[in-house]
Structure 1
Amino acid sequence: MKILIIEDELPSARLLRRKLEGLGYHVPEILQTVEESIEWFMSNPEPDLIFMDIQLADGISFEILERIKPSSAIIFTTAYDEYTLLAFKQNSIDYLLKPIEDEELKNAIAKFIQFRQPIPPFDLTSLEALFRNNAPSYKERFTIKIGQSLRIVTTQQIECIYSKNKGTYLYTSEGGSFLLDQTLDALLPQLSPKNFFRINRSNIVQFDAIKNIAIHSNARLKIYLRHYESDELIVSREKVAAFKNWLDK
């Protein structure tokens, strides 16, 4: 059985691949973007099964299905709430909620194997409309406690969010750093992917704050923001392609 993974977060994709290979399945490809996936389908035989994240770096994965219309079975991997997931069930599409549990993965594959002939059709138009109507809202502001007072920082004022010395901070266009009480992993799903991009394990940058981008060593990129200065603003090598696609949206 040939399995394809479409997921823009490489750590998550690699973890899923290891889980699948641990179950005895071969996963030759991991694709990260809508455009990369479309190009791949145009020059490769369709896989039997696709594990597909919904929100990719350069768009929504439904765009792939609209262009290619593969006959492969699809299991969506998603972090969306239970109500959206119930709707996926009603459309006869399986899903796995991140982080993916081993037992749920085994059950999803077993379900696919049991019903793989024929693969049930689904209404992509209705599903896409359903997803867009249930798409999560993103944070517009942060309330930060400073001594005995509170400060409101809008997402438009944020240049970057970074982790340092086991703390998480946001840096504003006015030149101030403020300690947050959440990790980067917890914050990222709350931020609009149109405006924010996690360039490496320690830094999330805001699109409007980028002043310049330079070629760096080992096929990486160095980001210069309007006010915040740091040698840590390097786009990791595995994120460069997704970052470029994000810039071109």
Structure 2
Amino acid sequence: MTKVIIIEDEKPAARRLQRMLSNNDIDVQTMLHSVAEAVDWFNNNPHPDLMFLDIQLSDGLSFEIFDHVKTESAIIFTTAYDEYALKAFKLNSIDYLLKPIDEDELEEAIRKFENTRQQAGKINLEDLKSLLREPGKEKNYKTRFTAQVGQHLKLVEVSDIACFFSENKATYIHCFSGRNYPIDIPLEQLENELNPEKFYRINRKCVLNINAIKDIVSYTNSRLEIKLENFNEFQLIVSRERVKDFKTWLNQ
């Protein structure tokens, strides 16, 4: 029987993943919630065949576990990091599950592990740690956008943009000046073209600039409300599943 562990600091997320694995006839040996707890467990127990590993734990990046422990266990990452990191996982023959985890994607990851068990543990942790700790150095991000204003094209510098938002199936730039301009780029594409140190997608409708945040207020159901200058289109609410990663982004 395949020995599996989960390393995830959000206990509800860990329990949800455990239930999903149980539905795939996989028993989880144990659930660990921090770097320190994982290091202690690895030093005192036989290593598993497979681990599901969250990247950001309460006491540091999960890669720090392997500064203290040598293991041949295969790894499937569970992550909320942007595409620049996900590409690195692919290059290193590591599978990943983007939170919130989808049932079909979990099943596919398990099949990949079973088909390539020998390769799944071959990772370059130093390269991944460097990439995750220094986002923005691997890619050139957009510095300006073109917006249509009547019969004219207007150049808008990224430094002048407070946020991007979608409404009625259209995407808009919202500037610090309070002006809105339509652009022909969906938010999904914008996420890959903006520097993740400065811009964050708080929900399905908005990507905001960290320099535009006026206030952050607790909201219902463990969510957060963001206040921006001159923005009155709708409430800017950080979705619950993104709150933890949003706080990490604020402090990076």
Give the letter for the 2:198 counterpart. N
Matches within 5 A, 1:51-130: 51=52, 63-65=63-65, 67=67, 69=69, 71=71, 72-75=73-76, 79-80=83-84, 87-89=91-93, 94-95=94-95, 105-112=109-116, 114-115=117-118, 122-126=123-127, 128=129
- Give the aligned partner of residue 152 of structure 1: 155
**Runs of 5+ consecutive residues of structure 1 not aligned to the other structure:** none
Deviation at 1:237, TM superposition (A): 2.3
- Residue 234 to residue 129, structure 1, CA distance change in 2 (3 Å): closer
- Give the aligned partner of residue 38 of structure 1: 35
Q: Do residues 2 (structure 1) and 16 (structure 2) align?
A: no
- Give the aligned partner of residue 201 of structure 1: 204
Give the letter for the 1:125 counterpart. E
C-alpha separation between the residues in 1 aligned to 2:54 and 2:239?
Answer: 21
- Residue 148 to residue 219, structure 1, CA distance change in 2 (3 Å): same
C-alpha separation between the residues in 1 aligned to 2:230 and 2:27?
Answer: 47
- Is contact 2:9–2:34 with CA below 8 Å preserved after alignment? no
C-alpha separation between the residues in 2 aligned to 1:247 and 1:63?
Answer: 21
Deviation at 1:219, TM superposition (A): 2.4
**Runs of 5+ consecutive residues of structure 2 not aligned to the other structure:** none
- The alignment of Structure 1 onto Structure 2 pairs a total of residues equal to 234
C-alpha separation between the residues in 2 aligned to 1:76 and 1:125?
Answer: 16
C-alpha separation between the residues in 1 aligned to 2:96 and 2:156?
Answer: 34
C-alpha separation between the residues in 2 aligned to 1:4 and 1:173?
Answer: 43
C-alpha separation between the residues in 1 aligned to 2:30 and 2:156?
Answer: 41
Q: TM-score, normalised by structure 2?
A: 0.66
Q: What do the CA deviations read for 1:51-81 (whole angstroms, capped 9, x no partner)?
A: 5587x699x9675456554623224578459
- Is contact 2:225–2:237 with CA below 8 Å preserved after alignment? yes
Identity of aligned residues (%): 33
- Give the aligned partner of residue 213 of structure 2: 210
Q: Do residues 143 (structure 1) and 174 (structure 2) align?
A: no
Q: Do residues 223 (structure 1) and 226 (structure 2) align?
A: yes
- Is contact 1:210–1:223 with CA below 8 Å preserved after alignment? yes
Deviation at 1:109, TM superposition (A): 1.4
Give the letter for the 2:4 counterpart. K
- Give the aligned partner of residue 167 of structure 1: 170
C-alpha separation between the residues in 2 aligned to 1:185 and 1:156?
Answer: 20
Q: What do the CA deviations read for 1:127-164 (whole angstroms, capped 9, x no partner)?
A: 55688798333222212222332222222211111121
- Give the aligned partner of residue 248 of structure 2: 245
User: Pairwise CA RMSD of aligned residues?
Assistant: 4.7
- Residue 97 to residue 222, structure 1, CA distance change in 2 (3 Å): closer
C-alpha separation between the residues in 2 aligned to 1:199 and 1:14?
Answer: 24
Bigger RCO of structures 1 and 2 (CA < 8 A, at least 6 apart): 1
- Residue 44 to residue 102, structure 1, CA distance change in 2 (3 Å): closer
- Is contact 1:195–1:206 with CA below 8 Å preserved after alignment? yes
- Residue 105 to residue 177, structure 1, CA distance change in 2 (3 Å): same
Deviation at 1:96, TM superposition (A): 5.7
Q: What do the CA deviations read for 1:187-243 (whole angstroms, capped 9, x no partner)?
A: 212222211122222222110000111222232221111222344211222222222
C-alpha separation between the residues in 1 aligned to 2:85 and 2:248?
Answer: 27
Q: What do the CA deviations read for 1:102-129 (whole angstroms, capped 9, x no partner)?
A: 88635421135x439xx85655335556
Deviation at 1:169, TM superposition (A): 1.4
